[in-house]
Amino acid sequence: MNFYIKYINPMSEIKTALISVWDKSNLDNLARKLSEVDIEIISSGGTAKFLREKGISVQDVSDITGFPEMLDGRVKTLHPKIHAGILAIRDKEQHIADLKSQEISSIDLVIVNFYPFEATIADEGVGFQEVIENIDIGGPTIVRAASKNFQDVSVVVDPSDYESLIEKISNGALSIDKEFNYNLAKKALSYVAKYDAAISNHLGILNLDNSKNKMPETLTLHYKKSYDLRYGENPHQQGSFFVQDNIAEPCIANSNQLQGKELSLNNIYDADSCLETVKEFKTNACVIVKHNNPCGAAEHKSLLQAYIDARDCDPISAFGGIVAFNNKVEKEVADEITKTFIEVLIAPEYSEDALEILKSKTNLRVLKTPPLSNKKETLMDVKKVVGGILYQDADITSDEDFTDYKVATKRIPTEDEIKTLLLAWKVCKNVKSNAIVFARDNKTVGIGAGQMNRVNSVQLAKIKAKDHYGTEGSVLASDAFFPFRDGVDEAASAGITAIVQPGGSIRDEEVIQAADENNIAMIFVLSLIHI
């Protein structure tokens, strides 16, 4: 049964395969191909039962080990006759002698995937013991062993690799080159790491009574490279785009690029910001982002008009920007978009006519997202700093937060003002601090971003609006409290009629007084009040 090779041999032949999988997708096809070339299949438990039902001959692990499955299946493959058969280096005389002395046969191919831990914990109603029982022990141990000995053993954890394996069948054997084995091993070890990370992270927040904490004591992140970038943030930097597996939230990472040049690092930054902002809106909306900040946003029953309104908030900044829609892009929208230069277009759907028009802009990157939905409460936000990361709840807020606000001033805002304050607030939360947004008539009219003090952000928003929509009769959203009354006085000089802010300043009374003196309605959104 054993076939021994020297490391100088670039190929190995497989005579014996160990198969133990939870995910049995396409397994019968692979196993049948292995059986056809007389590769002996060893298996256990549900996998052995599955293969026999498909008419495929299987030798039980217990027949190899002389030891029965026990402890409700907790112990199956944890035995020296399995692990020695995997770990033995075929060109080491002592290893071979050890195998012979113990009558152990080599195992040349390992096909394993694990209990569905991540799927289990995704069920909100899952009990504590079910979580524990879905921690696979034997599978990761076998995969680590096979990966370590990749020179002599092939290890497959992903059903998508079955076809590549089948293609290698020739002349009555499965011939495997070491580079192929090495790539399989790297993939397998990453699979184990991801699995262990999921277990560690979940148990890190799980208490014995099945209650959950928000933050774990340790955090392990696992991302897979999607593609290399031409360069990083600057031309002298290398960069790659890494993504999470099976992310459910519609995002840039799981969008499909339909046309255009490859995305750059800065494109991805900006596209993410643009998409996350447009997701805030339930009705037809358009958002335009430049250098990671919104430069225009609008709602309208006509998606075309929403685009025009967003663009014309700051047409100079919109040139070469990122444009995102939350609804289907039709022909007339595509026509208008092609009249100017934009870097990236994002939408959940496009008509065929629209796509045909967009093809005229060959460098335009067109992204199609999964269907958009509101952010989920389970999402977390990660930001990198040198030597560590910052980990927090995603900024999950909704229209309902605007039903829970405090009117701080003598004048109560009108219904129209509340509606427009909501639009401004949705955009403001996605503008880099200090953030000020002016809005009127279902669109932004001026945006002040990234200034070192809040009054300068108000002044910048005024400047941005001056040559386009103007500021008279607008409302204002601020992402943080006003530390002094000067920001409100500056807003009053721009003709602002209403303000939304979190509140929480030690000078709130002074700020409120400034609003009252200028007949400005001011609300504090209670969910945002700083504590």
Q: Which residues are catalytic?
A: 148, 291
Q: What is the dihedral of CA 372, 374, 380, 385, to 10 degrees?
A: 70
With beta carbons less than 8 A apart as the criterion, state whether 478 and 501 touch. Answer: yes
Taking alpha carbons only, the member of 448, 466, 470 closest to residue 457 is 448
Residue 260, token pair as written in the block: 């255009």
Report the SS3 class of residue 405.
strand
The Cα 360–Cα 337 span in angstroms is 11
- H/E stretch holding 305 reads helix 303-313
The number of residues in the chain equals: 531
How far, in Å, CA of 41 to CA of 50, rounded? Answer: 13
Task: Say if CB 38 and CB 130 are below 8 A apart.
Answer: no
Strand-pairing partners, residue 170, are 173
| C-beta separation of 41 from 31 below 8 A | yes
Listing DSSP states for 313-368 in one string gives: HSHHHHTT-EEEESS-B-HHHHHHHTTS--SEEEES-B-HHHHHHHTTSTT-EEEE
**Is there a contact between 292 and 269 (Cβ–Cβ < 8 Å)?**
yes
E strands in 44-161? 59-60, 109-112, 154-156
Tell me the sheet residues that pair with 14: 174
Instruction: Report the DSSP pairing between strands 256-259 and 365-368.
Output: antiparallel
Beta bridge partners of 40: 16
Interatomic CA distance for residues 473 and 38, integer angstroms: 82
Structure-block tokens of residue 345: 């277009």
The span from the CA of 527 to the CA of 398, in Å, is 10
CB neighbours of 257 closer than 8 A, spacing ≥ 6? 263, 365, 366, 367, 368
Side chain identity at 222, as an amino acid letter?
Answer: H
The answer to whether 271 and 344 are in contact (CB under 8 A) is yes
Residues 6+ apart with CB under 8 A from 468: 312, 313, 314, 315, 445
One DSSP character per residue, 185-233 reads HHHHHHHHHHHHHHHHHHHHHB-TTS-B-SS-SS-----EEEEE-SSSS
